[in-house]
Amino acid sequence: MQKAITSSKYASLVAWLKQAREDQGISMRDLAIKIGEPHSFVQKVESMERRLDVYEYDLYCKALGLDPRVGFDYLR
């Protein structure tokens, strides 16, 4: 079984989150402030160096105004 952090499905989920952030004109730094994490947190998530846990994923989605359930479709 392929590890989630390197799977194409997880990469699609991260790409969806990154695209939503960019489409809204939110910088990595501003998103980090919204979720209460350092800038490096967002950078590592978006470069696939760090995996989001469920709680962090929910925070990320809420900060971007996304429905977390939509992202689960990328994992199927």
Residue 11 pLDDT greater than 70, yes or no: yes
Residue 57 pLDDT greater than 60, yes or no: yes
CA distance 49 to 42: 10
Is 61 exposed, middle or buried (CB count within 10 Å of its CB: 0-12, 13-18, 19+)?
A: buried
- Domain limits at 15? 4-75
* Confidence at residue 9, expressed as pLDDT on a 0 to 100 scale: 94
Instruction: Judge if pTM exceeds 0.85.
Output: yes
- pLDDT class of 6 with cuts at 50, 70, 90: confident
CATH number of the structural domain spanning residue 26: 1.10.260.40
Domain count, the chain: 1
Residue 40 pLDDT greater than 60, yes or no: yes
Give the mean model confidence (pLDDT) for residues 35-51: 97
